[in-house]
Structure 1
Amino acid sequence: MMRNRNDLLDTPSHEVCNSKLAAVGDALYVIGGKWRLRIIVALSDGNKRFNELQREITGISARVLSNELKELEMNGFVERKVYTDVPVVIEYELTEYSQTLDTVVQSLVEWGEMHRAKIRQGVI
């Protein structure tokens, strides 16, 4: 968690600011968007087949899910396992590398719960 909002904003130089902006941009490119973190969270309780994921993640189309899984696989967060028994079974599972997102996901969950509570209370 950020110690102080000014820690991020009060940077010593333009170069440091650009570096931080680039890092945030890289992170958002990899895990940003509407679906990627939802897919990661859905897989956090174990391997799932494509149709299971699609049922669990309300509103995602098969085409979008397929593309998002490919992107997550390319970036090392998801592994596609093919079992050649009859019938062929394809499962998706999180990689060890995906655990590097645990604190990010937990922080987003906590912030989302807090924000939802504020909205419900009419504070915002």
Structure 2
Amino acid sequence: MSEQICHKADIMAIHDAMDLLSGKWKISILSCMCYYSTRRFSEIISDLDGISNKQLSKELKELEMNKLVKRTVLDTQPVTVQYNLTEYGWTLQDLIHDLAAWGAKHREMIMAG
């Protein structure tokens, strides 16, 4: 394997990405959005075991602020709110699929002993 020089700019970029995506729920929320193009708040809650309404609301606001998730309020009775990935948010799809594949391989390796 060839040795690659780690540049300070690369480290900073990784730090920025991890700062945005870190925490217990952000990757899970984004994963949910990748597999289902549009989700309501209640659907996301049911997809993610253990997240509270307050925490999901906070995480969605942060993802929206960072232009990864779009919130749409529909004019229905009662009001319906839908969430979906922005075009920019969809750029994370390959990363999320790769992370899922790596996680599955890692689980197999750990279980094999």
Per chain length, whose mean CA-contact separation is higher, i.e. which structure has more relative contact order (CA < 8 Å, sep 6+)?
Answer: 2
TM score, norm. by length of structure 1: 0.83
When the two chains are superposed, the root-mean-square deviation of aligned CA atoms in Å is 1.4
Of the two, which has the highest radius of gyration? Answer: 1
Is 1:89 paired with 2:80? yes
**Letter of the 2:15 counterpart:** G
SS of the residue corresponding to residue 6 of structure 1 reads coil
- What pairs with 1:1-124 in structure 2 (closer than 5 Å)? 4=1, 6-7=3-4, 10-11=5-6, 16=7, 18-44=8-34, 45-122=36-113
Q: Distance in 2 between matches of 1:102 and 1:62?
A: 25
**Letter of the 2:31 counterpart:** V
Give 5+ residue unaligned stretches, structure 2: none
Equivalent pairs, count: 112
Query: Structure 1 residue 38: deviation in Å?
Result: 0.6
TM score, norm. by length of structure 2: 0.91
Give 5+ residue unaligned stretches, structure 1: none
